[in-house]
Amino acid sequence: MKIRVSLNIRTARTFIVLLFLFSVKVLLVSPLVVRAQKQETVWSPQEKPIVDQLHGLRKLPDDVRGQTTKQLALQIRQLPATKNKVDLANGLADLSTEGDFGRDALQEVTTTLSDALREQPQPDEKGEPAASYIELAQLARYEQMQVSLDAASYKVAMARLEADDLRRQHADFVLTDLRGKTWELKNLRGKVVLVNFWATWCPPCRKEMPDLELLQQRFKDQGFVVLAISDEERDKVEPFITEHKITYPVLLDPGRKINDLFRVDGIPKSFVYDRDGKLVAQSIDMRTLKQFLQMLGQAGLQ
């Protein structure tokens, strides 16, 4: 009996201690849980169908995707002025530069994002303009879209892009490709060079690679070279390149030093340098063959 009583007392004490610790844990964790729940986006009945269509955009044929993109821009523009509206407009803008879905559609997307930011200005993020202002500035600077927004954050975003372009103009790097050959950008004067940042996991990157391969084969005798830079490890990149029969040089940048030098915060991105080493064209996203040819035309390739 004594042994049993002793065990019961110990069990009771253990239970009390565990209950106390659990109570303390709940008190400590609960505010974090509540805070996380507050941060979770809740879409209205008007917004939810738009979210669903955004998730399915990449599955659509290009001609249908262009029409759907334009319709979504107009639908978002009719939403009440909220943070969700800005997020939807920014998300649509991010997807709308993955190729060529029509200038009219892209202008509608740009106008929608501009209007959303005018209605609901966004605070800076860690001392930098919010991502939506950067997106809008890219549409104006690199896609030549018309933007009427007169906001300080937008102007700062434009100034940042100008500084990034100046940095890229003077950028140089030395990297080794998968075959062991070393490439130095400044030593390629006399050639037209397309520097492409990509990754194996990136659907738009994979989609434009056959066109880059075609361009390499078409213009290689005219002094054209594609340098594709990945920040992944060799054991992930090499099998992918072999499987897809890519012949243009693929360079490895696992420490992201060159990605950071070029201010690459999203992929794919491509930069075209002419024979004098001047940066003459660049893309903020995936390009079609026609768009790539337009970029190369600015470097004198026809």
What is the per-residue pLDDT for 302? 85
Question: pLDDT tens digits, residue range 41-86?
Answer: 899 999 999 999 999 999 999 989 999 999 999 999 999 999 999 9
Section 90-111 average pLDDT: 97
Q: Are 258 and 229 in contact (CB under 8 A)?
A: yes
User: What tokens were used for 4?
Assistant: 């049993």
What is the per-residue pLDDT for 295? 97
pTM exceeds 0.85: no
In percent, the amount of the chain with pLDDT more than 90 equals 84
Say how far apart CA 202 and CA 39 lie, in whole Å.
Answer: 27
Confidence of residue 140 (pLDDT cuts 50, 70, 90): very high
What is the per-residue pLDDT for 39? 66
Of residues 8 and 41, which shows the higher confidence score? Answer: 41
Measured CA distances, 106 to 90, 134, 257, 259, 297 (Å): 12, 16, 32, 27, 22
Say how far apart CA 131 and CA 145 lie, in whole Å.
Answer: 18
CATH 3.40.30.10 fits 174-297, yes or no: yes
N residues, the chain: 302
The separation between CA 121 and the C-alpha centre of its own chain, rounded to angstroms, equals 22
Mean residue pLDDT of the chain comes to: 89
Q: Per DSSP, what are the bridge partners of residue 224? A: 192
Taking 50 as the threshold, does the pLDDT of residue 27 lie above it?
no
Of residues 28 and 112, which shows the higher confidence score? Answer: 112
* Angle (nearest 5°) at CA 129 between 80 and 279: 120
Confidence of residue 289 (pLDDT cuts 50, 70, 90): very high
Q: Are 93 and 58 in contact (CB under 8 A)?
A: no
Question: pLDDT tens digits, residue range 115-136?
Answer: 999 999 999 999 999 999 999 9
What is the per-residue pLDDT for 10? 39
Taking 50 as the threshold, does the pLDDT of residue 236 lie above it?
yes
Say how far apart CA 97 and CA 92 lie, in whole Å.
Answer: 9
Query: Domain-by-domain residue ranges, the chain?
Result: 1-40, 48-168, 174-297
What is the per-residue pLDDT for 163? 96
What is the per-residue pLDDT for 207? 95
Q: For residue 280, give the DSSP letter.
A: E
